[in-house]
Structure formats: C-alpha cells, structure tokens
Amino acid sequence: MCGIVGVVGRQANDAIDVLLNGLKRLEYRGYDSAGIYYVDSMNQTDQVVKAVGPIKHLEAEVNQEQRAQTGIGHTRWATHGKASLTNSHPHVSQNERFVLVHNGVIENAAALKATYLQDVTFTSETDSEVIVQLVEHFASTQDVFEAFKHTLTLLEGSYAVLLMDREHTDEMYIAKHKSPLLLAVGEGFNGVCSDALAMIEYTDQFIALVDGDVATIRPTSYEISNLDGIERTPELFTANIDQEAAGKGTYPYFMLKEIDEQPIVMRRLVETYLNKENESAIDASIVEQMMEADRIYIIGCGTSYHAGLVGKKLIEEWTHIPVEVHIASEFAYYPPIISERPFFIFLSQSGETADSRQVLVQTNEMNYPSLTLTNVVGSTLAREATYALYLNAGVEVAVASTKAYTAQVGLLAILAQRVGDQRAIDATSQIDLAHELSMVSLAMEVVLEDKQQFETLAHDFLATTRKAFYIGRGVDYYSSIESALKLKEISYIQTEGFAAGELKHGTISLIEEETPVIGLITEAHTAGQTRSNLSEVASRGAHVLIISNETNAEPTDQYVIKNVHPTLQSLVTILPTQLLAYYATIERGYDVDKPRNLAKSVTVE
Ligand code: F6R
C-alpha cells in the first residue's frame, strides 16, 4: 500500500532506472498511480513526472535519454482523493522549492491546513500535500532541516516521508513513523525504500529505521537522529533476498507460481524447524513462555486471521491451552478481557500491517510476551514483538496470499507440537511431525498435478456467476472462509464462506437456480451433516461442487484430496480452492496478481 523509493548520488547517472525498477518491485503492494522526481546535477535539470495507472504509463512519460543521479519515487494507493495526476506523488510546495513523497495517513491534515496554511493554494486533495506545504511555511523562518522536523512534530497519524530541497539537491531528508522505511546503503550512493526488494538489485546492506527516526542522506554519508536531535548509529543488516525467486520465471502470474511453491515451503519448514541438528531454530524461551500461558491470543487480518483460526484448532488440540483468535482492527479498539498470563501470536505475511501493529503497540505497553510469525525478515512486527519466527516462504508477490497462509498454518503446527511435547501430552509427543508434513507436501503435489481439472471446474461453475458460497463444518468452515476470500478478492464474484449448518438460518434465501455452492468435507463426524446441507441447497437449484478427502469421499464428489494427518488436512484442502480462484479469475479476464483496490502491504488502519 503505497511504495517509496529514493536514491542520492548514483555516479552511473542511472537514478531514473533505479527509481523505476524500485517502483516495479514495489508494485505488489498495490497502487493506482505513480510518480518520480529526478535531478540531473551534471546538466542542472530536474523534473517531476507522474502517471495514473501502471508503472509502464509512467515509463512512457519519461524521456529515455534523460540521465539523473538523485531522485524520489512513489506508487500511490488512493486514500484521500481519487487516483489522478494531481493527487499522485511527488507533491511540490507552492513556491516550488520542496518536493515530497509520503506513505501513510495524516489524520489531522484538515486542522493543520486551517491553522497554518490558510493562504496556500493546494493543488491536490491529498493529506500528504499538507506536509510539503508546512515545510515551505516553516522554512521561511527556519533552516530547512529544522522546518522539516518542526513539521513532523505537528503530524498525527503515520508517515514515511522523503523530502527534497531543490536548492540543495545533493541531499535528502527522510523520516518514519508507523509506516515502513529502510535506508539502503550502497557503494558511492545511498537509497531509501519501503521494502528491501526495491533496492536489492543495487545493494544488500540496509538499516531498518524505527518510529521517530529522522535522517539526512547524502551520496556517501547519512545521519540518523530522533526529533529531539539525539543521534543513533544503527547496525546494518544484510537482506537475504533471492532475486531469481522474486521473479515469476515462466509463470503467467505470480499467484500460480506461489501456489506451486507450497510443497517446497512445507519441506523448508521441516528443514528449518524440525531438523534435530537445528533445534534452537525455535528459541527455547518461546516454548517456555507459551507453556506458562493460561491463554494464547492470535491476532491477524484477512488471510492471516484465517490461518489463526486453523491454528487455534491445532494449538488447542496439541497443547490443551485455550486459544482466542481476533481480527486485529477489532481487538485494537474493542479488546476482550485478557487472561492473567496471556501469550500473543501475531500472524502477518508482510509484517507491516498497521491494524496488527496497533495491537502489538498495546500489548507491548502492557508488557505481554508476544511472537510474530512473518515472511519478511526485519519487518516492523518482527522487530517489535518479543520474538519472531520466519515463514521462509520466499517473497510473496501476488496480492492474494497463498503460500504464506499454508506456511503460517505449518509453522503454528510445529510450534503447537513443540509446546505440547514439552507439556508431556502423550498423543502430541507421539506425532512424527516431520513425516506428517512431508506427507502434506506430497498430497499438495498431487493436487498441483491436477490443475487441468480445476481449470475445467472453474469454467463449469464460476465462469459467469455473480455469487458463490463455500460451506463446511469445523476446520472446513475455516477453510471455507479463506476459500471465499480468495475467490472474491481476485475474481470479483461475491462469495461467502459459511458454517454449513448456518445457511438454513437465513442465507439459504440467496440460493437461486445455478448458484454455485462448494462444500468442503474432510471430517468424518460432520460429513453426513454437511452433505445434508448440500442436499438442501441442491434441491433449491444450487450448482453443488464437493471437495472431500479419501476417508469421506463419495463417487459423485468432483475432487478428492489425499488423506493426511487429520489435524493437518486443511493444509491440503485449501489448494483446490486457491486453484479454483486462480482459474475463475483467468476465465473472467482479470489481472490475477493485482486485483483492483487491494494492496499487498496494508500500512494504513
Ligand atoms: C488476502 C490477503 C490479505 C492479508 C491481510 C493481512 O489474500 O493477503 O487478507 O492476509 O491484508 O496481511 P498480512 O498477512 O501481511 O498482515
């Protein structure tokens, strides 16, 4: 959600390429317009270039011959004002001296305008423009860096900001509060970006800025301090991103590649966390703290929340510790009564989700122990929780999360078994989880070999419908909600996931002739009930598709997945539904990887 990239001092004169490549790498975050500001100090020219729509529109606007050494770039996901040239970044101050890009939301923008900027003519509807106009306002009486800091002290909300002064283009001012920002340290140049992926082509050395940091960066130096001027010299970290893996290779879409990677991701989890020689991969104190907890709270949003629901079943079954799962944006403002010895688990693919972070800030204030499971090393939620464990799923680019979901469930299973084992729960100790996850991996591979069938099923059931339902009971209900989210977010078919027994309490009135209802049936003790619910909708005209496992299969079921350990079955159930979502979207002619209105990294509340 909004991407930022900046660079100072590219001797190779290729700053425009650095910005455009960086913005392309950040496309996954979701955006609807983009822009850059570049400076060619050799020829004393500079320019702002913007375009609505994909980066290729922006590229087409840039003069191919133009060279530059320094610049800032931005992809905008509209929050205040529609996607348009005037609302896209960079924003320029009224006297045209200052140029700025911003990620985040300034909640008190209207009040700041009214107090300080009554005489300013705004060119955009954005909250971001307020920042650059305030800098101009204060710079009339203050040194520019002081004016920048003065501005920051007034802002309420979240920001990652890059500011350039057209009178001193050899340096850039940057600041961070709640929105992600990394300093990229190169040889002979310095950069800044929302995600290391944006600069990994040019350097693997980064500094994770923390909330309250403000910095000046130049080609070969940088100074980082807080708003009170107290300097800090943070450690560099090496970003370990496999550039090859970050590309989509021969796949038409990232989503298909990422779906296909799931068996490997399971194996990698086994190697990383279940290898006897590597037992310390899970810090013993995580296990101890979880064992001491009287209740575990799992916090997440969207797909990560759904992974938490499956995790609840796993953890309760294997550790006997009660688990609550909460939607982060609800928990933050309506917290439940918290038990005496809670342990918090944050699930987040990106590690940057503002809603989840809002809760983490609160639990940190209460000194509750916490663990983040995330795919992004050094991300905010990883840094700020007491502990972090990484999914090691490889970069997930498609907006619709697939391999991160199964990795979250897989890692929760590993954690649950470790805790249950330590609590001497016999049934848990006896599970050979490395073997069971390998079987999951094999069962996933079987599904992936049947892609053609899902293409056909998507064509038969989902090509033209306006709505669809997924239903199931128990863990199949949780898989149903996740399956429904996957289908609706990319194919735009209005899809709901329901507890199978609930339909008849109201929603069944929506069933019409040919409404697709997809039943998930993998648990023996409720298979009969779910089949009855499917008969109820079939007799009202629904087009019923059944995905079951071997134990519960009937000859008319359209797809049967392999049996795996019953507690891990949902790791396999989800793959057919990911493929149905993928092929339905292809069939309906939409961009699978970049669904409208959505962002990969949701950094606003
Ligand atoms: C849907 C999807 C989203 C995310 C949600 C939380 O496919 O990806 O629902 O799961 O925005 O994001 P993270 O996991 O990065 O916290």
From 304, 330, 409, 489, the mutation candidate for ligand 1 (largest count of ligand atoms within 8 A of CB) is 304
| pLDDT band at residue 583 under the 50/70/90 scheme | very high
CA distances from 151 to 37, 130, 604 (A): 21, 9, 20
Mean pLDDT value across the chain = 94
pTM: 0.78
Q: Which residues line ligand 1 (CB under 6 A)?
A: 301-304, 348-350, 353, 356, 400-401, 485, 489, 602
| pLDDT (mean) for 470-484 | 98
| Chain-centroid distance, C-alpha 546 | 30
d(CA 356, ligand 1 centre) in Å: 11
Q: Do the domains 251-434 and 450-605 sit in the same CATH topology, yes or no? A: yes
Residue nearest to atom 5 of ligand 1 (CA): 302
CATH number of 3-249: 3.60.20.10
Taking the C-alpha atoms of residue 444 and residue 447, their distance in angstroms, rounded to an integer, is 5
**CATH class of the 450-605 domain in this structure:** alpha beta
Amino acid at 222: Y
For 110-125, the pLDDT digits (tens) are 999 999 999 999 999 9
From 350, 372, 485, the mutation candidate for ligand 1 (largest count of ligand atoms within 8 A of CB) is 350
| pLDDT (mean) for 266-275 | 92
Q: Residue 244 has what pLDDT?
A: 60
| Chain-centroid distance, C-alpha 495 | 21
Residue nearest to atom 16 of ligand 1 (CA): 348
d(CA 67, ligand 1 centre) in Å: 38
For 435-453, the pLDDT digits (tens) are 999 999 999 999 999 999 9
d(CA 290, ligand 1 centre) in Å: 25
| pLDDT band at residue 245 under the 50/70/90 scheme | low
From 353, 379, 492, 585, the mutation candidate for ligand 1 (largest count of ligand atoms within 8 A of CB) is 353
Q: Residue 488 has what pLDDT?
A: 98
Phi, psi of 7, rounded to the nearest 5 degrees: -150, 145
Quick one: which atom of ligand 1 is closest to the CA of 350? 15
Amino acid at 536: E
Phi, psi of 297, rounded to the nearest 5 degrees: -110, 120
**10 Å Cβ neighbour count for 586?**
20
d(CA 393, ligand 1 centre) in Å: 15
Residue nearest to atom 6 of ligand 1 (CA): 301
Question: Residue 543 pLDDT more than 80?
Answer: yes
d(CA 372, ligand 1 centre) in Å: 14
Taking the C-alpha atoms of residue 180 and residue 164, their distance in angstroms, rounded to an integer, is 19
From 478, 600, 602, 604, the mutation candidate for ligand 1 (largest count of ligand atoms within 8 A of CB) is 602
Taking the C-alpha atoms of residue 458 and residue 68, their distance in angstroms, rounded to an integer, is 48
Q: Which two tokens stand for residue 137?
A: 């306002």
Residue nearest to atom 11 of ligand 1 (CA): 302
**First-to-last C-alpha distance (Å) of the chain:** 11
Q: Which two tokens stand for residue 236?
A: 């560099």
Strand partners, 91: 100
Taking the C-alpha atoms of residue 19 and residue 37, their distance in angstroms, rounded to an integer, is 9
Amino acid at 168: H
Strand 387-390 and strand 467-472: the pairing is: unpaired
Q: Residue 242 has what pLDDT?
A: 67
Phi, psi of 171, rounded to the nearest 5 degrees: -145, 165
- The torsion of the CA quartet 112, 114, 116, 120, rounded to 10 degrees, works out to 110
Q: Residue 602 has what pLDDT?
A: 75
Q: Count helices and strands (H / E) in the chain.
A: 20, 24
Q: Which residues are catalytic?
A: 2, 600
Question: Residue 541 pLDDT more than 70?
Answer: yes
Strand 190-193 and strand 3-8: the pairing is: antiparallel
Residue nearest to atom 13 of ligand 1 (CA): 348
Question: Residue 192 pLDDT more than 80?
Answer: yes
For 31-45, the pLDDT digits (tens) are 889 999 999 999 899
Say what angle helices 403-422 and 262-273 make with each other, to 10 degrees: 30
Residue nearest to atom 9 of ligand 1 (CA): 302
Quick one: which atom of ligand 1 is closest to the CA of 486? 7
Amino acid at 442: L
d(CA 29, ligand 1 centre) in Å: 11
The residue written with tokens 């943070």 in the block is 234
Strand partners, 184: 191, 206
Is the Cβ–Cβ distance between 388 and 371 less than 8 Å?
yes
Question: Residue 1 pLDDT more than 80?
Answer: no
Is the Cβ–Cβ distance between 32 and 76 less than 8 Å?
yes
Q: Which two tokens stand for residue 310?
A: 């499956």
Quick one: which atom of ligand 1 is closest to the CA of 402? 7
d(CA 349, ligand 1 centre) in Å: 7
| pLDDT (mean) for 248-277 | 90
Is the Cβ–Cβ distance between 176 and 211 less than 8 Å?
yes
Amino acid at 77: W
Quick one: which atom of ligand 1 is closest to the CA of 300? 16
Question: Residue 454 pLDDT more than 80?
Answer: yes
Taking the C-alpha atoms of residue 174 and residue 380, their distance in angstroms, rounded to an integer, is 18
Quote the percentage of the chain above a pLDDT of 90.
86
Residue in 380, 388, 405, 422 with CA at minimum distance from that of residue 290: 422
Residue nearest to atom 7 of ligand 1 (CA): 400
Question: Residue 168 pLDDT more than 70?
Answer: yes
**10 Å Cβ neighbour count for 314?**
23
Quick one: which atom of ligand 1 is closest to the CA of 303? 10
Q: Residue 101 has what pLDDT?
A: 98
Q: What DSSP line would sit under 444-467, residue for residue? A: HHHHHHTHHHHHHHHHHHHSS-SE
CATH H superfamily, domain 251-434: Glucose-6-phosphate isomerase like protein; domain 1 (3.40.50.10490)
Is the Cβ–Cβ distance between 549 and 522 less than 8 Å?
yes
d(CA 347, ligand 1 centre) in Å: 9
Quote the percentage of the chain above a pLDDT of 70.
99
Going by the DSSP 8-state scheme, the letter that residue 563 receives in this structure is: P
The answer, yes or no, to whether the previous bond of 90 is cis (omega within 30 of 0) is yes
Domain assignments of the chain as residue spans, ordered by start: 3-249, 251-434, 450-605
Residue nearest to atom 10 of ligand 1 (CA): 303
Question: Residue 246 pLDDT more than 70?
Answer: no
Taking the C-alpha atoms of residue 180 and residue 176, their distance in angstroms, rounded to an integer, is 7
Ramachandran quadrant class, 596 (left: phi over 0; alpha: psi -120 to 50; beta: rest) = beta
CA distances from 136 to 87, 95, 154, 155 (A): 19, 8, 14, 15
| pLDDT (mean) for 288-312 | 97
Residue nearest to atom 8 of ligand 1 (CA): 401
Question: Residue 2 pLDDT more than 90?
Answer: no
Using DSSP's 3-state secondary structure scheme, residue 138 falls into helix
The residue written with tokens 């996957």 in the block is 486
Amino acid at 583: Y
d(CA 58, ligand 1 centre) in Å: 28
